[in-house]
Amino acid sequence: MKRASLIIFLVLLADQILKIWVKTHMELSEQIPITDWFIILFTENPGMAFGFEFGGDWGKLALSLFRIITVVIIFIWLRRLAAQKARPIAIVSVSLIFAGALGNIIDSAFYGLIFNESNNQVATFMPAEGGYAGFLYGRVVDMFYFPLFRGYLPEWLPFWGGDYFVFFRPIFNLADAAISVGVALLLLFQKTVFANPSEEESETQQEKAVS
């Protein structure tokens, strides 16, 4: 678990440092252009991916509880992989997914308690008047915006012709990036990740015997 613990610690540390800096140095919707296609844009996500919401306060609570249950399941999976001495790529990918999911849960669980609102002001850490929401009702801080292409679609294009188009539109954070990389690694190396260690060892011994 040493490799997994190191990955989780580094991702969580970098993710929370960046989020706290953005929250305490920028107002909501404020932008810091790094390049034409890379912008730090402070947004807060109250719900699921891409800002989707459902069910009001009850929906938010259900989503937070679902996230916690999911993270517990991922952690159990990670422990089993470590106990089975799974391939490093399996440990790395699942560790990234776990760290990313946990990083966003921290926002949802605690940011409403320890920060005030960011609308028309820079938020304060541990404000005297209290936070902007209760436990599990906080909003996830997002900041990475990569508008690689911006322009109007050709008029001849059906349905969307002439519409203003931005690629890549979603705004995300480091935790989201960790989850995406982890999932991508699982898909790319699924045969290795989901291989049975005992079967691999048996096949290796058979190959040695034949040679």
Neighbours of 90 (CB within 10 A): 24
Given the residues 15, 36, 57, 142, the one annotated as active site: 142
Q: Does residue 36 carry a catalytic annotation?
A: no
Contacts of 57 (CB under 8 A, 6+ apart): 137
Q: Give the C-alpha separation, 196 to 101, whole Å.
A: 26
Given the residues 15, 57, 107, 176, the one annotated as active site: 176
Query: By the 8 A CB rule, do 104 and 123 touch?
Result: no
Helix then strand then coil, % of the chain, to nearest 5: 55, 15, 30
**Which of 144, 139, 161, 143 has its CA nearest to residue 152?**
161
Q: Residue 139 has which token pair?
A: 């909003």
Q: Does residue 163 carry a catalytic annotation?
A: no
Q: What are the residue numbers of the active site?
A: 142, 176
